[in-house]
Amino acid sequence: MFTRYLGVALVLGALLLAGVPAQASTTRTDVEAFLVERMRDIESPGLSYALVQRDRVVRSGAWGTDGFGRPMTPHTPVGFGSVSKPVTATGVLRLVDAGVVGLDDPVVRHLPWFRLADQRAADRITVRHLLEQTSGISARDGYDRSDVDDNAPGATRRWVESLAEVTPTAAPGERHQYSPANAVVLAALVEETTGLSLPTYLRREVFTPLDMADTIADARDAERMPPGHEFYFGTVRDAERTFDTSGLAYGYLGGSVTDLAHLAVPLLTDGRYGGGRFLSERLVDALRRGGPPAAGGHYPLGWRTGTLRQTDTPIVWHAGGAPGYHSILITAPTAGWAIAVQQNVYSPLHDAALNSAAFGALAITLGGAPDPLPEDPTETAALVGLVALTLALAAGLAWQLRRLVRRQPAPARRARARTALSTAAWCGLGIVSALAVWLWLPGSFDLRLRHILRFMPDIGQLAVTVLVIGPALTAARLAVLLAETRRQGAARRAGV
């Protein structure tokens, strides 16, 4: 769910998968030993995986514990994060196969109340544009409305109606912009055309036909999902449990690795599952190829595609993170293999490392070697920088308060220029620090501060501390200056 860091993580992830044609000598021990090692390196409390060959799960396993302290299993539900997008897309493709909607139908044909600030642009957006994230709605306009924990009836419609004030940043079909808005509009389209809520529709058309028995699709279901975990000042701690019905389509569905393994089967079997037809070959072929360029590959019909390094083998995949959870599903249709991996910990700054577990395990399966654990110094640099800034501001505030309380004698006339310069420096430090955190930090992550607090709480809490201490330092220094000015005036009146 984060454009700048997500894009970096996706490119790194695509490069992590290396291999040669599948070899029968690949052992369960090789894959599982790697996953256990990667889980330890990442410090994940729990990890589960499922390996699929053509139409069946051939291996699965789990280690560690869930948020309730119970052993992880291949049926432990975990948040899908952005893997919710291809799940939602699969539901839409079922409507396409049924002839209810067409890929190139204008959205307003099925969702007549859909509005943007530029209605001419809104009228040109098609179902395909939404699936391929080329509607023209920016990532920022989508994230501004995301993760709001709206679980009241009508949440999806309220979310989409809020787009009426949004002006697209590109023409429909012009370029890929990874935005949660596209998935929510698709959810509204599903509900409008079927008369069913998105959870009810997905259960009927996706979860039940694919035997996805552990799925989480509404707030009541979410009560049985174990809490996840978050990275916090170099440790891992329990994450606050959150759920957002309005965000089901882009990030708040959930389920087990077994569910994700079943979702992979139609991609490996030309659209079939359990001996029957689930998706048409035409649509399966379309989602394996084409689509707009996106993060080192392409993005056709709700999935990411790329090529396995060293083998020139196509892959179809998606990864995602939600507060406390990470999921990834990678399929190699021409090789006939797929893998799903879930971990119950998440931070956007750990995307590449979390993704590497699945890429490495599939590389081993295909006879290759996994890459080392990716390292991203951004988190450490951000924490160190913010801690240092916080301490500097706190020390400055304490010094100014001490001067204010001690009521030092008025400075001599010749010291007034120095006092003015000192005041400007202290006030500048406080104001610039607060502005940097308020404007630069969210911009560097392409997120709002509330998202940083939700997904990177240590960085977010330090940012809030700077936002409080910075203005306080400025106010304290101005108070010191005012007190000194008054003492100077009193001294002049007294003839001192």
**Tens digit of pLDDT for each residue in 129-142?**
999 999 999 999 99
Measured CA to CA, the distance from residue 261 to residue 211 in angstroms comes to: 10
Q: Tell whether the model's pLDDT for residue 15 goes beyond 50.
A: no
* pLDDT value of residue 485: 78
pTM: 0.91
Confidence of residue 186 (pLDDT cuts 50, 70, 90): very high
**Tens digit of pLDDT for each residue in 16-64?**
443 334 443 445 789 999 999 999 999 999 999 999 999 999 999 999 9
Closest listed residue to residue 124, CA positions, set 96, 139, 105, 140 = 105
Confidence of residue 409 (pLDDT cuts 50, 70, 90): low
- Greater model confidence, 120 or 412: 120
* pLDDT value of residue 295: 84
- Greater model confidence, 445 or 386: 386
- Greater model confidence, 288 or 278: 278
**Tens digit of pLDDT for each residue in 239-265?**
999 999 999 999 999 999 999 999 999
Q: Which of 142-156, 216-230, 407-421 has the lowest mean pLDDT?
A: 407-421
Percent of the chain with pLDDT over 70: 90
* pLDDT value of residue 489: 66
Classified as helix, coil or strand, 106 is strand
- Greater model confidence, 1 or 358: 358
* pLDDT value of residue 25: 42
* pLDDT value of residue 362: 93
Length of the chain: 496
Q: Tell whether the model's pLDDT for residue 7 goes beyond 90.
A: no
Percent of the chain with pLDDT over 90: 79
Closest listed residue to residue 483, CA positions, set 404, 397, 401, 398 = 404
DSSP assigned state of 309: B
Angle value at C-alpha 176, between 175 and 177, nearest 5 degrees: 115
- Greater model confidence, 387 or 8: 387
Q: Tell whether the model's pLDDT for residue 4 goes beyond 50.
A: no
Q: Which two tokens stand for residue 170?
A: 């590109």
Confidence of residue 151 (pLDDT cuts 50, 70, 90): very high
Mean pLDDT, range 453-463, rounded to an integer? 96
Residue 423 and residue 430 in contact, taking contact as beta carbons nearer than 8 Å: no
* pLDDT value of residue 130: 98
Mean pLDDT of the chain: 91
* pLDDT value of residue 154: 96
Instruction: Report the range out of 322-331, 367-376, 417-426 with the highest average pLDDT.
Output: 322-331
Q: Tell whether the model's pLDDT for residue 491 goes beyond 70.
A: no
* pLDDT value of residue 19: 38
Residue 267 and residue 338 in contact, taking contact as beta carbons nearer than 8 Å: yes
Q: How far is CA 55 from CA 41, 210, 288, 332, in A?
A: 32, 11, 17, 13
